[in-house]
């Protein structure tokens, strides 16, 4: 993972000012500085964690590939469907997020006001799909922990549940019973508060494309991609482990934790290797998607084959 700050940047590295003037969600970040894709040189620690997982061969996946090959069943079951369908029909303004449950300050907040108090960061992060393909994407967003702390979760908040928009008019894939809509995901509270967990509003120096989860999506880099829920409209602090959409649809295939673990095969295919989009050769899958140094301690003493 790469994080760069304003001190690291030349003028040509900074996101075009027009994005802030033309896009209200980026304007809401105010003093934030978002940067374009770059290599790992100049990486700095995040809240005490050294971002050493990204290596020299972790080059960003081309923007065209990352926005044309997506799992987003709300816009169709084929990988190419979201990129073809979502941009023309998915309106994301206005957009608000409701935060509720075991917290002292619940409420509904416009997405621009949710992000505005925080400094945007770019993070060059691996994304590993359970189906065996992967990408490297320069996300733009803010650490989720800072967002959640604003609502003051109580001691009863053991988990955080997230919900995607339900609107079959704007998301025509929801007219088909592929899943029990709306899409729901969840994290343990310490996973949600981990410095690597990002709430993304953009990528590649641009506003987040509709097919990639606009206007607000989760990025949990050590878990399979389906844990990084898109187009979020609700966040709930809960005491009990939430049943996520894929757990409910296929509990034998999708567990709650869904950490990248090459030793635990999907019932229908191996997870030992992956193919990065744009490459022909397969590469070895890394435990926790290469972020073991940062996150393995979260699961100390757990049987990661049982709690997959």
Per-residue pLDDT tens digits for 167-194: 999 999 999 999 999 999 999 999 999 9
Q: Establish how many alpha carbons lie within 13 A of residue 77's alpha carbon, considering only the half-sphere containing its beta carbon.
A: 5
Q: What is the pLDDT of residue 219?
A: 98
pLDDT score for 301: 96
Residue found by looking up tokens 């990129």 in the block = 83
Q: Is the pLDDT of residue 85 over 60?
A: yes
Quote the percentage of the chain above a pLDDT of 90. Answer: 80
CA distance 220 to 199: 9
The mean pLDDT of 234-238, rounded to a whole number, is 98
pLDDT for 24 equals 54
Chain-wide mean pLDDT for the chain? 86
Would you call 294 exposed, middle or buried from its count of C-beta atoms within 10 A (0-12, 13-18, 19+)?
Answer: buried
Band of pLDDT at residue 31, cut at 50, 70 and 90: very low
The pTM is what?
A: 0.86
Q: In the prediction, which pLDDT does 251 show?
A: 94
Give me the mean pLDDT over the 80-99 stretch. 97
> Does pLDDT of 11 surpass 80?
no
Q: Does the pLDDT value for residue 202 go beyond 80?
A: yes
Whether 60 shows a pLDDT value over 50: the answer reads yes
pLDDT computed for residue 126 by the predictor: 95
- Give yes or no for residue 34 having a pLDDT over 60: no
**70-87 average pLDDT score:** 97
Q: Which CATH class is domain 6-299?
A: alpha beta
pLDDT of residue 116: 93
The pLDDT, as a whole number, for residue 53 is 66
* Nearest of 178, 194, 193 to residue 226 by alpha carbon: 178
pLDDT of res. 300: 96
| Residues 6 or more apart in contact with residue 38 via CB below 8 angstroms | 2, 4, 13, 122, 124, 138
Of 52 and 125, the structure prediction assigns the larger pLDDT to: 125
pLDDT at 214 over 60: yes
Whole-number pLDDT of residue 14: 36
Q: What is the pLDDT of residues 95-133, one digit of tens each?
A: 999 999 999 999 999 999 999 999 999 999 999 999 999
Domain ranges of the chain: 6-299
The residue among 112, 123, 118 whose CA lies nearest residue 148 is: 118
Helices (H) and strands (E) in the chain, counts: 9, 12
């Amino acid at each position: 993972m790469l994080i760069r700050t304003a001190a690291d940047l030349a003028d040509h590295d900074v996101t075009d000012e027009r994005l802030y003037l033309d896009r209200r969600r980026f304007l809401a970040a105010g003093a934030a500085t978002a940067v374009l894709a770059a290599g790992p040189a100049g990486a700095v620690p995040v809240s005490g964690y050294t971002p050493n997982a990204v290596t020299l061969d972790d080059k960003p996946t081309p923007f065209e590939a990352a926005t044309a090959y997506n799992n987003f069943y709300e816009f169709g079951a084929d990988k190419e469907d979201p990129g073809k369908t979502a941009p023309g029909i998915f309106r994301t303004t206005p957009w608000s997020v409701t935060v509720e449950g075991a917290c002292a300050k619940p409420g509904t907040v416009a997405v621009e006001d949710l992000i505005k108090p925080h400094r945007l960061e770019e993070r060059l992060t691996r994304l590993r799909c359970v189906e065996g393909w992967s990408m490297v994407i320069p996300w733009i967003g803010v650490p989720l922990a800072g967002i959640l702390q604003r609502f003051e979760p109580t001691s009863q908040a053991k988990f955080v549940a997230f919900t995607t928009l339900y609107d079959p008019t704007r998301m025509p894939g929801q007219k088909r019973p592929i899943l029990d809509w709306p899409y729901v995901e969840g994290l343990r509270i310490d996973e949600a508060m981990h410095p690597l967990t990002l709430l993304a509003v953009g990528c590649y120096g641009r506003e987040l494309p509709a097919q990639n989860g606009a206007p607000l999506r989760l990025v949990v880099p050590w878990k399979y991609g389906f844990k990084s829920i898109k187009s979020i409209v609700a966040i709930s602090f809960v005491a009990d482990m939430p049943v996520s959409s894929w757990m409910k649809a296929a509990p034998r295939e999708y567990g709650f934790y869904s950490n990248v673990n090459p030793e635990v095969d999907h019932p229908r295919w191996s997870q030992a290797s992956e193919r990065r989009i744009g490459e022909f050769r397969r590469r070895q899958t890394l435990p926790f998607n290469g972020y073991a140094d940062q996150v393995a301690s979260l699961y100390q003493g757990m049987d990661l084959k049982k709690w997959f």
